[in-house]
Structure formats: structure tokens, C-alpha cells
Amino acid sequence: MAIDALNILYASIMAAANDVTHKDAGLDNAAPRDAILKTTDEDNKTCNLEGTILKDAISTPESKPAKSSSRTENAPSNESSKDGTPKKVLEAVSKHNAIMPRLLEVQHAQIAITYEENRIRDYHRAGIVKVQELRRLRAIAREKRLKYKHISRSLIRRVAHKLTNQSKEFKSMVEKQKSEYLDALSKQQAAERNIKWFKDAIADAKRKIEELKPLKKEYLELKLELDNVFHEAFEDSGDVYPEEDQIKIAVKNNEDWYREARLQAEIDRAAYKSMKDARSAIQKAVEWCKAVQRFSFLDLLRPQPLTEIMDRDKIHRAQDSFEDAERLLTQACHLQKEIGPFANVVHVILSGYELEDIMFRDVNWFCSMSYRDRLDDLTTRMEALQAQVVSETQEQNRRVAASELTVIRARAALEEAVQELDQLRLGIFEGIAPRSYGPEPPGIDDDPPPPPPPPPPPLIPYSELFPDPRTESELGQEPQRRPISRWDTTEPTQGTFNFENSGKFVAWGLKNGKKFRGHTLVWHSQLPSWVTSGTWNTTTLTAALVNHVTTVATHFKGKMMHWDVVNEPFNEDGTFRSSIFYQILGDSYIETALRAAAAADPVAKLYINDYNIEGVNAKSTAMLNLFKRLKAAKVQVHGIGVQGHLISGQVPTDIDVNFNRMVAAGAEVAITELDIRMAVPPVNQTAAYAQQATEYAAVTNACKVTGRCVGITLWDFTDKNSWIPSVFPGQGDALPWDVNYQKKPAYYGMARTLKP
């Protein structure tokens, strides 16, 4: 708008100048003035024209021809300058000179406007190009929409389902990694606590050794005094015994010493009851070994020097190394087996060696009993020492050991016979026939055959047991995800028990002639938060454990054939799993749970159950040793549960060997959770299923040929409900029936093996 105003002002000024100049110069004043506003080129032409007019006006004479005089006379007179230039021309020139700078500014503005208009045109062209590109992209998108519109919805659903499964697998993997991290963190915290307790235990052990030294010295003085009394008495009276009151005094002195020893044993026993880790007891054993080295009592029993038997440097290094301590303890136990049992070193104890030496000398109870029970047994043995001083030879020890082995084997044979009678009378598990012994000789049983048993009660449908239709669907689709007998479902809050679903299920099963295996009373997994996050000590956790086991076992008393009392107590290397129970109570929680279960349900067989113990390995050996220790401690435990979660192509070949050594120790064996998984889909399904059938047959046969393998339980029966795919992605097909409830070769492999 400003530029237009300047153009108009400039045009008016130039029009006035033209008017004056044209009149004076005799020119027509009808020049087109509006042309000045059209373009910049026209403005320049106008400027040139004006300059020409001004020049002509200045050079024209004052007077004109006579023909114009009349018009001049009528017009107003024009004044002239000294040089004859008309005044209006001068004014026009002055105005022209004044307006020229503005005219230049206007020209510059016109140039800028032209430049901006060109830029706008360029932008407009670019916008047109972009609009065309956008239209092209829209056309491509329209074509793609039309193309993808024809994709089937089922394919989209399958892709969405696959993505959902991948999301679930990733979530499961994250949860697993989180669980492993928390487990590792828990182990680290437990290790830190154990290290602190370990240091305190060493200091306490050293203090106790120092406290025992005055007691030993006092005993030696009393013994010397007693010897002097006897010596003086025999010197004074020949063959006459010392007076009765002197004998009583000597006996009383001995009783006082033993009373002090028992008091110290009680103190040590209280200390051991607070142990949280068995490795601390190993360090205690190292201290005992050092005491043994100090007194050199082994030199009294065999001529071989102590330095050749036990390396002193290893004893010293064992203070800083658990592994050296374990090896040293094992070596000490082997030495005791060579030297002999407790009777051979009684005279060494009576010679005044320290009380702790007793705990090291007797391999029969030191190397086999649990750590916290050793001091209990020590008290009993100290009482026996007052009246027993015996010496047996190595041959006598071997005879005793052979006699004990004979008794163990006889007891195992007797229990096996009783078990076989139970099998013949009742059977153990459905689908496993009792062992056949061939036809009986004529006349062995003249009694008439018993009447046929009454028909079983009619089966009750699920709908009657569980009126809610969702229950039947859930039980049919995901039974492994509906645990109804584990700690977090039976006792979700402390002291509050819930047996609604489990009670209905057991009642329905018993009414339909089913047999039950209780799984499980104590397990490190699926615990409620009040157990895993509670603040416990030995007393409170023991009370909670006993209350849970007692309540659950009592509720189902007489209804369970077997109870898996303790489930999965071991790590793969044979060490105890660091559960909340082991961290607080040590391995004694297993004995506590078994004793509580036996008291609550004395009819059921009690088992310890674990996985990866099918063949001979460190874990199965640890389970076998635990069973032996429990039997030696008179704990009621009947069998070992072998879960049997196996991988096709990796099934152990020594299952029967492992079962036989368990049976030789007096244990029943049961395969409790059998499935054999494989990679899915298999490359060659026929070959994979054939191998799986062979492996199912081999496992079944290992149980069949073992005298006291009492049954096989499948961990579900159809691949449709198997737990394997959700835990081991890419694996499955682990059971004898497929997802359509059709029998697979594995079924026929088991069936052929079970035939007589």
C-alpha cells in the first residue's frame, strides 16, 4: 500500500510538471498519466520524457509566434527568471529533484517485490510438486490398501496369536530371569550371613577350647590323686582294698568331672542348634582335627606317624578353604574306618584327652550322624564311659560290621516280602499288576475261593461334584495350573486353612474308586508370602512348619496312600537347596516334617521326592545318603520319589542300578512325575515317537525288575494339558496320549512292558 501511495504522489507531481511544460512549449497536455503506474519500464520512459521536455523548455525563446498570442493574453502571465526560464518550470524541476530519491527508493522496493514474487512462484511450484508427490503416495497407499484388503482374517488372527504367544514367552523368560536373580540374591545374602556366623563360630570354638583346659587339668590332678590313694592303700594293706569312704570320694570326683563334661556338652549342643549352615560344622571339624594333631592320640593306636596320615599344611590351609576342610574331614573319616570304632580309643579318653576328641574318634556316629545330633549322642556315651572300658580288635570290628550288614539285609528282605504281600492283596497303583510267582502247587490252599467283590459304586460326573460349569472347563483344560494341595492354597494366611476344593476332589475320587498320592507338604516353591517374607527364628519357623504338616496330613488322614512330605530338597551338585527352611533350620527341617507327618497320618507311606535322580549321580547319591541318615536316626521314612522328567535321547541307562542301590538301603522307590519330552515339531515324527516309546518301555522295565519299585505316576496323560510347552518353549509331545487323546507309540511301549 505504501508503494502504491508513492506511485500516485509521483504521478501527480509529474502530471503538474507536464502540464506546465506542455503549455509553455506548445505541446499537448493529454499525455497518458496513468501509464506511469503500470510497470517499472514505463516509469523509466516517463522520467526520460520529462527530462527531454524540461530541456526543451529551457532552450525555447520567451516569445512564440503570433498565432498563440491570443491564448497567451487570455491566460495568466507567467513570470520568468533572470535567464528567461519560466518560473513554473523551475518549480517543476525543483519538485522533480526533490522527488528523485524517493523515486529511487520506490524502484528498489519494486525490485524487492519482484524478487519476493519470484520466490513465491518458486515456492508455489515446489508446493505443486509436493502435492503431486502426495497424490502419488496416496495412490500407492490406496493400491496397498486394496491389496491387503484381500488378506484373510484368519491369517491376521494367526499372526496376532503368534505375537501373543511370543509376548507370553518373553514375559515368562523375564519372570524366570527375575526369579533366578532373586534366588541368586538370596543365596548371596545367606552366604554373607553364614560368613559372619562362621567367624563367630570360630571365635566361640577357640574360647571353648580355652575353657576346657582348666577342666582337663583338674581331671588329671584328680586322677593323679586317685592313683596315689589307691597306691597308698595297697602299700599299707597289701591285698586289702582301700576303705569304702575313700572309694566313694574317688568315684564322686570322677562323677563331678563327668558332670562338668555333660554341662559343657549341653552348652555345645545349644550352640549347634543355632547353626544355619552345615559348612560351619565342617570348620568345627577342622578344629577337632587340630586338637587331634595336638594330642597325637593316633600314635597310641597305630605306629604310622601322624604327619604321614594327615598333612599339617592342609590342616592349616583348611581354615581359609571350605573345600580343603571337606577333603580333610573325608580323610579323617577314612582314618577312623581303618583304626576302628569307639571301643578302641576309650582308654585314650580316660587318659585325659580333651572332650572334643570323642566327637572325632568314632566314625560310626561322627561320619554318619547329622551335626546337631552328635552332641546329643555324646552325652549318652559319656554316661556309658563311667561303667565301660573295653578293647576290641580289628577282627571283632569286622565281625560286628558283617553282623550289622546281615541284619540290614534281612530287614530289607522282610520289608520287601511284606510289601509284596501288600501288592498281592491290595495293589499299589492302577495299571500295574502285582508280581506273578507262577501257579501254586496242588493242595496248597484247600479253602473255597472267596466270593466275588461287590461291584464298584457308580461313577459321579464332574457336574455333580463341581456344579459351576467353569470348574469342569478349567479342570479339563489346565489341571496343572490349578494346584489345590500346596502350601499357598491350603494355608494362604498363617493359621487359616482352606480345604474346600481339595476336599471335594478327594471325596469324588474315593467315591469313584481312585487312589491318591499327596503332593506335597513341604516345598521351596509356591509358598505364600507370609512364609517367604516373614521374620523367623528356629522356634517360630519350626512351629509353623509342624502346624502346617500336621493340619494338612490330619485332614486327609487315611485317604492318601503316599505323601511326598519333602519335595526337591537338593541342588544338582548334591548340596541342600537354600530354601527358607534350610536357611533357618538347616537340614533338620526334613526330619521335623517327616516326624510331624508320621504322627498325623501313620497309615500313609512317607516319601522324599526330587528330580534328576533317575541315574547314579551326585544328586541321587545325596538323596540316598539322606535316606540312610534318617533311617539311622529312627525317622519314619518309607521311600524315595523319583520324578522322571526326562528328555528323549538323554534318558539315563543306569536307572535300574540306581533303583537297586536305593532298595538295598531299605527304601521303596516310586516314579512320581514321569514324562519324556522332545523337540517339537520333530524332524521325523515316526522315528522320534519310536525312540520315545523305547525310552518309556525302558523306564517302565527298570521299575518292573526292581523288587520294591511300587508304581509309576504320569505327570498328566495327554499332550493337550502338558506343562512342558509353557516351561520349555520349543519342546513337548511328552506324554503317551496326544492332544486329541489318541494313544501314541509310548503307550504301547509301556503296555507291552507291563505284561507278565
> Distance between CA atoms of 58 and 693, rounded to whole angstroms?
129
Instruction: Give the start-to-end residue ranges of the domains of the chain.
Output: 2-133, 186-391, 514-754
What pLDDT does 688 receive?
92
> CA nearest 568: which of 559, 581, 555?
581
Predicted confidence (pLDDT) per residue in 179-210, tens digit:
888 888 887 777 777 777 767 767 776 776 67
Cell numbers linked to 499: 480345604
Judge residue 534's burial from the number of C-beta atoms within 10 Å of its C-beta, 0-12 exposed, 13-18 middle, 19 or more buried. middle
pLDDT of res. 59: 46
Q: Are 386 and 349 in contact (CB under 8 A)?
A: no
Instruction: Measure the CA–CA gap between 281 and 626, rounded to whole angstroms.
Output: 17
Strand partners, 605: 562
Q: Are 57 and 24 within 8 A, CB to CB?
A: yes
pLDDT of the residue at 8 = 57
- What pLDDT sits at residue 64? 41
Look at residue 92 in the predicted model and tell me its pLDDT. 80
Q: What is the pLDDT of residue 13?
A: 54
Mention every residue, 6+ apart, whose C-beta is less than 8 A from residue 490.
Answer: 497, 498, 499, 502, 548, 552
φ/ψ region of 340 (left if φ > 0, alpha if ψ in -120 to 50, else beta) reads left
Q: What is the pLDDT of residue 189?
A: 79
Q: What positions carry a catalytic annotation?
A: 568, 673
- pLDDT of the residue at 40: 45
Phi, psi of 121 (to 5 degrees): -60, -40
The whole-angstrom separation of Cα 276 and Cα 586 is: 5
Closest CA to 601 of 545, 639, 563: 563
Q: Are 330 and 355 in contact (CB under 8 A)?
A: no
**Nearest residue to 17 (alpha-carbon basis) of 1, 36, 3, 41:** 36
Instruction: Give me the pLDDT at residue 432, please.
Output: 38
Instruction: Please give the Cα distance from 381 to 387 (Å, whole number).
Output: 11
User: Mind listing the pLDDT tens digit for each residue in 316-338?
Assistant: 444 444 454 455 555 555 555 54
Contact 465, 508 (CB under 8 A): yes
The predicted structure's pLDDT at residue 698: 93
Grid cell digits, residue 422: 501288600
- What is the CATH code for 514-754? 3.20.20.80
Between CA 438 and CA 445, with CA 439 as vertex, the angle to 5 degrees is: 135
CB distance 671 to 644 below 8 Å: yes
Position 491 scores a pLDDT of: 93
Stretches where the chain sits below pLDDT 70 are 1-85, 149-154, 198, 201, 205, 208-209, 212-213, 215-484
| Number of neighbours of residue 470 by Cβ within 10 angstroms | 8
Task: Name the residue type at position 381.
Answer: R
